[in-house]
Structures are given as C-alpha cells and as structure tokens.
Amino acid sequence: MELIIVTGMSGAGKSLASKALEDIGYYCVDNMPPALMPPFLQLCSQSSQPLSRIALVTDVRAGTLFEELQAVLPLLTDAVDVCQVLFLDCNTEVLRRRFKESRRTHPLASAECPIEQALAQERQLLAPLFEMADYRIDTTYLNSAQLKSRISDFFRDEPDTEMKVQIMSFGFKYGYPAEADIMLDVRCLPNPYYVEELRPLTGMDKAVQDYVLDNPDATLFLARLQSLLSHLLPLYQKEGRSQLVIAIGCTGGKHRSVTMVNELAKAFPDRRLLVFHRDMGRE
C-alpha cells in the first residue's frame, strides 16, 4: 500500500492536489484528523478489495487534532509499504489575496485574529512538517493546470526507490521558486530579449537555442553543471531524498533559462528528469 499525506498552507491548493491525485488512481480523503488515520488504513487493508494507493489530506482545519500528525506519522510509516508527505506552500501575500477574492474564512482567523496573523500562526505551526516533507510544491506562481501537471509527474508512476529530479526554468522578475534545492542564475549570459526577432520566441525555438548556445560561456556553464550534478545526484540519492528540485533562472524565464534546462535534461539520458518551465508562457 502506498500512502501520501497531503498537507500545507490553507489556500495553497490542497483540494486541487487531491483531485489531481484522484485522476491518477489514488483514493483520496479530505480533512482527516491524524488520530483516525491508523484505523482507517487498517480498515482499508482488511477490505475484500484492498486499496493500493491512498492520499489523506489533513491541515489546521482539524484544530488541535492536527497537532497529533507528527506523532502519528511513525505509525503510518509502519502500516504501509510507502509513506510520503506532500507539502503545498504559497507566498503569504498571495494567500491573503486568495482568501479575499474567494470570500472564504481562514480556519485560524477570527475577529481577534485577522488573516495576516492567522497565516503567520499557521506557517509557524506547519514549519516542522515543511522541513520533513518528501515533496514540496510552491503554488504561488502556478495555475491549476500547472499544479495538476506537477502532481502527475511526481506520483503517476508506481513507487520506486529512484529519487525524482525536477529541473525548472523561472524568471527572477516573477519571484524565485521557494521549493528549489539548488538554484542557478544564468542572467550572466547574453539575453535574446534584446534581439528584436528573438524577443517573441522562447527557449523552445531553435533560433533562441542557437543564440544562447553559440556563446562559449553557455557551453562551459553546461559542461561544468553536468559534471557537478553527476557527482551530486548519487549523493542526494544515498541520503534518501525522494525529490530534488534544480531551478535555473533568467530575467523573464522565457529564453536563456528554458534553453539551459532543456539542454541539461538531454545530458542525463539514463535518468528521467522532470522538466517544468514555470514562466515561459507569461507575457
């Protein structure tokens, strides 16, 4: 049996994540108090048709019961073949705006506790889970389709022992990705944006790729990065990581970073790298 515990900040997209997991075959239960998880798993295992893939969503809506999650996690790990924690995070200001636009009330908010204070309390409460999570996804700059795609990339395959490595391009002008384990800046390379005929194109177009890669500094950057990652990836794998996120950024996340991410993915044909271009489609 494979179990995913879905948790994170209120408004960060746990409901969308649950729907995405359902689409790839998980049996999902929302807002389950942690104390009920062990007996629920036992019930599932004793069913005439045992469930093989389960996702349980839990967060501060459970009130003081949610505080039991850390104590319950070892029991859950012993009860299943694979137990992983997925943490959904988001920028505080974006969360505040989402609650305002949806006119929903934050679970910790009240007349005495405004939304800003409630979010700060929630982030403090969730800090230990953020640190111990196997997978972290920052939804600040993601739309629904992008979040669904990332969930599918991480969990659609049968569980294995290979660490999932995602390389993503992004634009610094839109904010850096909070979930990045390794972040690299390629703004030092010549920018195709300033070439009029290349400006409307992206790093998916050959003209942009040729412009970026014709620069000796770019090819040297790639060669040294490939060498570094060839050394680092087995070390992270040995450490027992489930996920490693490598983020490469340029100014707008459209030309240089996209090109470099795609080229880096080609450099590791023996390893399935998950490629994600966060800001390529922005205007």
pLDDT tens digits, one per residue of 241-263? 778 999 999 999 999 999 999 99
- The whole-angstrom separation of Cα 95 and Cα 91 is 6
Query: What pLDDT is stored for residue 269 in this prediction?
Result: 78
Name the band, by pLDDT with cuts 50, 70 and 90, for residue 89.
very high
Q: Which domains does the chain have, with CATH numbers?
A: 2-155 (3.40.50.300), 164-277 (no CATH)
pLDDT score for 158? 53
pLDDT for the residue numbered 64: 81
Please tell me which residue, 261 or 152, carries the higher pLDDT value. 261
Mean pLDDT is lowest, of 27-36, 57-66, 134-143, 207-216, for: 57-66
**CA distances for 65 relative to 58, 61, 71, 127, 246, angstroms:** 10, 9, 11, 17, 35
Residue 129, amino acid: L
pLDDT at position 274: 87
pLDDT in tens, 32-52: 888 999 999 888 888 777 788
Per-residue confidence at 160, pLDDT binned at 50, 70, 90? low
Average pLDDT over residues 126-133: 90
Mean pLDDT across 5-16: 93
pLDDT reported for residue 279: 93
What pLDDT does 171 receive? 95
Whether the per-residue pLDDT at 161 is higher than 60: the answer is no
Residue-by-residue DSSP string for 38-65: HHHHHHHHTSSS--SEEEEE--GGGGGG
In the predicted model, what is the mean pLDDT of the chain?
89
List, for residues 187-232, the tens digit of each pLDDT value.
999 999 999 999 999 999 999 999 999 999 999 999 999 999 999 9
What is the percent of the chain where pLDDT is above 70? 98
The pLDDT value given to residue 157: 64
The rounded radius of gyration (Å) of the Cα atoms in the chain is 21
Q: What is the per-residue pLDDT for 121? A: 92
Give the per-residue pLDDT at 242: 76
Check residue 205 and give its pLDDT.
Answer: 96
The pLDDT of residue 191: 95
Q: What is the DSSP string of 248-283?
A: EEESSSSSHHHHHHHHHHHT-TTS-EEEEESSTT--
Q: What is the pLDDT of residue 119?
A: 93
> By CB neighbour count within 10 A (0-12 exposed, 13-18 middle, 19+ buried), where does 178 fall?
middle
Distances in Å between the Cα of 31 and the Cα atoms of 119, 215, 273, 279 are 18, 52, 32, 32
Answer whether residue 113 shows pLDDT above 90: no
Closest residue by Cα to residue 25 from 43, 1, 42, 7: 1
